[in-house]
Amino acid sequence: MTDEYHCDVVVVGGSLIGSSAAMFLAQQGLSVCLLERRTTVSPHPRARGISVRTMELFRAAGIESDIRQAGEDDFQFVFGETLAGPHQPVARPDANAMSQLSPTTPYSCDQNRVEPILRRRAEALAAQIWNGSAAAAIERDSSGVSVLVETASPPDQASPPTPRRITAKYLVAADGADSPLRNSLGVGQHGRDVPGVGISALFDANLDGALRGRHVSALVSPRQVAILFPKGKAREYNWLGLVPREGLEAVEGSAIDAAAMSSIRRRRRPHHAALWRLRRKHRNCRCPQPRLEDSGRLSGRSA
């Protein structure tokens, strides 16, 4: 560890928001450093659909072709209760009409594939990225902010040594929806908590028999409040996301795999399963369960 490092902006958290912020700020010529507590990207695909506006921004940042290579143009969403049963396709905007509005198009690319692209581009634009490094404490004064850095993992030989302290003019708190940093600065959230816990499970299984030649990029089950994404050209595993519900709060450790196995009705352990809890508040939602149409906007933290 070196002692101190100075930059214009320190970004805390290197997931989707932090990596994007680092890249876009570096693109503006600011000196940026990013601290990410994890040493690897979460394997869970999480957010997949990229809107046309985001694709425009990615295009301007020079990463559109990387995103297109890592993802796929696959928005075949259907409503249904089982993969083998009847499906009702979800209507899509008219591609021809959309092509009049923008030089690019919406696209599908999983968050765990987008994040490394954002970070690589941020680094190419001279941002400093320190993985396995957490912001342990922050102090503010009239000149900016000072961040005490804690390095949890052994130093990665390929990365530059992490400084013990970073001083910056500005700090971006991208440490998740329940951001302890944002809370410590008194920036709160309002609305209603979403109760319960969900499951995110990646699993290996051949679903061709159930699909019977039909192409489905996501099966949305309103009754089970769940989404199943069969594996595809740009995803190695099938992915089931159960939107948080009550009754799974006590599940932990190896029981997470068991709960996931029961959800996917398989005897084989999933490739990876994690619980997720919604940290974002619901505003003006009177329904007892989070609705599926809300799920694209829900924020969570998977292991």
Using CB under 6 A as the criterion, which residues of the chain lie in contact with ligand FAD when the complex forms? 12-18, 35-38, 44, 46-48, 111, 134-135, 174-176, 200, 241, 276, 296, 299-302
- Taking the least distance from each CB to ligand FAD, the nearer of 111 and 128 is 111
Task: Please state, in angstroms and rounded to a whole number, the distance separating the CA atoms of residues 164 and 127.
Answer: 18
**Least CB distance to ligand FAD at residue 100 (A):** 26
Give the nearer residue to ligand FAD in terms of CB position, either 190 or 212. Answer: 190
Q: How far is the CB of 44 from ligand FAD (least distance, A)?
A: 5
If the CB atoms of residues 99 and 184 are measured against ligand FAD, the closer one turns out to be 184
Q: Report the nearest approach of ligand FAD to the CB of residue 48 (Å).
A: 6
As given in the structure block, the two tokens for residue 245 are 């519900």
Least Å from the CB of residue 288 to ligand FAD: 21
Least distance to ligand FAD, CB of residue 293, Å: 12
Pick from 286, 155, 285: nearest CA to 297: 285
Our CB check for ligand FAD shows the closer of 103 and 191 to be: 191
> 14 or 106, CB closer to ligand FAD?
14
Q: Which of 128, 123, 181, 130 is nearest to 153 (CA)?
A: 130
- CB-wise, 83 or 149, nearer to ligand FAD? 149
Least distance (Å) from ligand FAD to the CB of residue 5?
A: 15
Residue carrying the six token digits 């949890």: 152
Q: Given the structure tokens 């530059």, which residue do they identify?
A: 160
For residue 205, the number of C-alpha atoms closer than 13 Å in the C-beta half-sphere is: 22
Instruction: Return the number of the residue (15 or 217) whose C-beta is nearest ligand FAD.
Output: 15
- Closest separation in Å from C-beta 209 to ligand FAD: 26
